[in-house]
Amino acid sequence: MLRSIFSLSRQNIYILVSSLYLLVLISLGKVSAMSILFVYFLETLIIGIFNALKMYYILRIGKKDDTSNPMGYGIILFFLVHYGFFVGIQSVFGFALFDMDGSSIFKEPFHILENYGIILSLEDVKYALPAIVLVYVGKFFTDFIRNKKYDVFNASEIMFKPYLRIVIQQFVVIISAFFIVFGKAGTIAAILLIILRFFIDLSLEAIKKDSKLLDVIAEKLANENESKEEIKKQLISFTE
C-alpha cells in the first residue's frame, strides 16, 4: 500500500517538486515559518480558482449531459458565491488565530481583503507561493485535461468537490498554527507541516481508479448498506 502512495506519476511528481522546493527555501532561510503557514492558508483560494476553471472546461467542451444544471455558465458564478462565503468565514477564523499572539501583522480579522493583500505583499510569500500553484497547474493539465475528465464529470458534480480537500487542508494548517504561533516551534513546525502535507497530498492522489490503495480502503469501509464498488465511486469523487 505504501508503494502505491509513494510511487511517482505525472500527477504526484509536482507534489514532490513543490515540497522539496519549500524545504530548500526554509532550510536556506529564504522564507519564514509563518510564511509557509500563510502559503498553505492561501491554498484555499487556489483550489477555488482551479475548480471554477474545471467547471468552465466541462461546460465548454464536456460531452456529459448535465440535466441537473439549468443555470448554464451561471453555475460557475453560483459556485464562486457560495465558495467565497465559505472562504470568508474560514479566513476570519484564520486571521483571528494568527493575531492571538499579539504580534500579528494583520488588521482586524473581518478586514479580509486587506489581510490577504498583506500576505501577498510579503517578499518570502512571493518566493513560496509558486510551489503551491505548481501542484494545481500540474494536476489540472496532467490529470484533468490529459485524462479528459471534463467528459467524466458534469458541472453540478464537481461544484462541491473542493470541500473535502479544504477541510483536511485547513485542519492541518490550524494545528500547525498552534505550534508556530503559540509553541514558538518555528522552523521545525514548518518543516513538519510540509512533510505532513506531502504525505496527505500523495495519499489523496493515490486514491484513483484501479489503484491498490482505493481497493484496500473500499474493502475496509464496505458494509451492508454500501457495497465496495459504491464506496470506490464516492472516494474517487471526493478526492478529485
pLDDT at residue number 102: 58
User: From the CB of residue 36, how many other CB atoms can be counted at a distance below 10 Å?
Assistant: 28
Q: Report pLDDT digits (tens) over 161-208.
A: 888 778 888 888 888 777 776 666 678 888 888 998 888 888 777 777
pLDDT tens by residue, the chain, 240 residues:
556 566 667 767 888 899 999 999 998 888 988 888 889 989 999 999 999 999 999 998 887 777 777 788 899 999 999 999 989 988 888 888 877 765 567 778 788 899 899 999 999 999 999 999 999 998 899 888 988 888 888 888 888 888 877 888 888 888 877 777 666 667 888 888 899 888 888 877 777 756 676 777 767 777 766 676 677 666 666 666
